[in-house]
Chains A and B, each alone.
Chain A
Amino acid sequence: MKRNLVIRSLQSLLALLAISVIAFAMSHLTGSPVDAMLPDDAGPEEAARLTKLWGLDRPLYEQYFVFLGNALQGNFGDSIKWQGQTAFGLVLERLPATIQLGGFAIVVSTIIALPVGVLAAVYKDTPFDSAGKLVALLGQAMPNFWLGIVLIWIFAVHLNWLPTSGRGGFSHMVLPAIAMGWFQVAAFMRLTRSAMLEVLDSEYIKLARIKGVPERRVIWVHALKNAAIAPLTYFGVIAGSIFTGSVVIETVFAWPGTGLLAIDAIRGRDFPVIQAVVVTFAGVFIVANLIVDTLYAYLDPRIRYQ
């Protein structure tokens, strides 16, 4: 067991190293920040001066090792597009916005999906089951930016209930969270439903019924407690998809998070920021996976991923 953990950790370290190479290559593939920043009437001397200033005239391997050495100390260099800020500082500054929105989206989708999933299992094959499935699947069928714009149009412009965009109070989160979270509802709901079906069929539920426990209590306490494990394990998958979703949703709702930062950094060829975003996200993902896998193995030897 311990040996396994050590091996997995070493492998993850290797993966992180590979990620650093990929992040470096990805940013340098995009060209040069000089071309993004230079005004249209600047001649070659200006371009050469900036290339030197940003250290882009040095050999690539040298640039990589400088980047790696600094990154190991948590320093990704100074941003080019956001002069006066460090790349990692920018990521940290915007991360809370993304986590806030993503977290809220997950909470909303759970709040909706869990009860609907439970009821869909209890009233299997009734109109309620079908309707729930329909609504959930609809969320998985709409392009999220399209949904976002339609939501803005209905709830912010026509009804004037909610703000259109930007980050502010709680009300600012509602529309983007729906546009982001609806997609997850279907997956959550389906997992809950099938887990519930399984649990409701188990011996101890039957036993509880025989013992005369009220049906409502059987469903919402006894059964749900056991059925909830399956959808909860799905969190890992969702957490990964938050970032991908956030790139689009943050653009539509002008939500100043990391997704938006990443797009702007790529468009501005801001190498330090691109690298900081990619490495941070990949690092968090890999470490989280490592922890989750380890926990699984300890908590429930049956659910060993291997």
Chain B
Amino acid sequence: MTDSPSPADRVADDNTGRKPGFWRGLRRLPLIPMFVLVVLLIIPALSADWLAPHDPIRGSIPDRLKPPVFFGGTWEFALGTDRLGRDILSRIMHGAKVSLSISIAGILAGGVLGTALGLIAGYFRGLADAIIMRLVDITMALPSILLALVLAVTVGPSFQTIIVVVTFVLWALYARQVRGEVLSIRERDFVARARVAGASDLRIIVRHILPNAANTIIVLATLQVGSVILLEAGLSFLGVGIPRPTPAWGLMVADGRQLIVSAWWIAFFPGLAITLTVFALNLLGDWMRDRLDPRLKEV
């Protein structure tokens, strides 16, 4: 990694390494994905407790399988009701909270673990590097979905088991990317200067290397929110996702799939919520990648 520095790198070298334009870039966020995200994910997640028209968990049997408004239903249940008479709209709103918290918790756990190990592997190289990278290989070689199934039958599916699975899936990815990043950063002048100045390894990692790898980490995280939501859906489909009756989007789609003919709205609307949200998140992630870290292509 002794390439001639790109323009961005040259700027970065002048100070401690933060790439310019991060905040300026944020001001130019793409409008549509942000709007979708705010409307579908953020607002419901923060305010479901007050805004949701019905109880997301307790339904009433007489109101079961009501179609959405415009399809023979009423405004009382705008998106219809499910098999237990629960309001789909309220469940989607509460589900936003679940999806968001799984994504944040999972990405945080996987990201922190993977970043830490990636930093260690890339900075110290040698034995630590070999061990960590073989761990990465092993993790990537193990079908994560089987791990989820095993965990689910062993300790029962729960919020925690999903976080464990998400962490398992993500850490290796972070470790690999961050390590690659660190390998090139550590050869840069400002690191050498810091070392000459007598900075400790820890200080170099935290003050000089981490800030330079931050863009990669942020972009990865943004791109992963969508896949974590999809992962939750897949796990719920296999019956090892969020336990009932918690309203989680993936679980709602999985539960409604049987009745796709007669009560299509049960699976359709949460499916739509997932699709739009993930779509917006991916657009946002793409945009951030282009702005912050165009080298990250393979994720």
Contact = CB atoms under 8 A, between A and B. Distances in A.
Nearest to B274: A143
B137 A248 contact: no
B146 A26 contact: yes
Contacts of A15: 134, 137-138, 141
Interface in A12-67: 12, 14-15, 18-19, 22, 26-27, 29-31
Given A15-B137, A15-B141, A22-B138, A142 B153 contact: no
Interface in A272-287: 274, 277-278, 281-283, 285-286
Interface string A216-241: 00000000000000100010010010
A103 to B, nearest CB: 18
B138 A144 contact: no
A194 B297 CA distance: 9
Grouping DSSP codes into helix (H, G, I), strand (E, B) and loop, the B interface class, with mixed when no group exceeds half, is helix
B73 to A, nearest CB: 21
Contact of B282 (A140, A143, A263): A140
B67 interface: no
Interface in A225-261: 230, 234, 237, 240, 243-244, 247-248, 251
Contacts, number: 134
A149 B256 CA distance: 11
Given A14-B134, A237-B298, A146 B233 contact: yes
Interface in B221-257: 226, 230, 233-234, 237-238, 250, 253-254, 257
13 contacts: A30-B153, A137-B279, A138-B275, A141-B277, A143-B234, A143-B237, A143-B275, A186-B282, A230-B297, A244-B145, A266-B153, A282-B142, A306-B183
Contacts of B274: 141-143, 146
A171 interface: no
Contact of A263 (B137, B144, B149): B149
Interface in A150-171: 150, 153
A191 interface: yes
Interface of A: 11-12, 14-15, 18-19, 22, 26-27, 29-31, 137-138, 140-146, 149-150, 153, 186-187, 190-191, 194, 230, 234, 237, 240, 243-244, 247-248, 251, 262-263, 266-267, 274, 277-278, 281-283, 285-286, 289, 306
Interface of B: 130, 134, 137-138, 140-147, 149-150, 153-154, 183, 226, 230, 233-234, 237-238, 250, 253-254, 257, 260-261, 267, 271, 274-279, 282-283, 286, 297-298
A36 to B, nearest CB: 10
A267 B283 CA distance: 38
A11 B275 contact: no
B156 to A, nearest CB: 12
B97 to A, nearest CB: 19
B271 A142 contact: yes
A230 B141 CA distance: 22
B165 to A, nearest CB: 11
B153 A248 contact: no
A141 B260 contact: no
Contacts of A277: 146
A9 to B, nearest CB: 12
B282 A285 contact: no
A251 B153 contact: no
Contacts of B257: 145-146, 149
The 6 closest A-B pairs by CB, nearest first: A282-B141, A141-B279, A141-B278, A143-B233, A285-B141, A145-B237
A243 B282 CA distance: 23
B143 A244 contact: yes
Contacts of A251: 237-238
A264 to B, nearest CB: 11
Contacts of B271: 142-143, 146
A283 B138 CA distance: 10
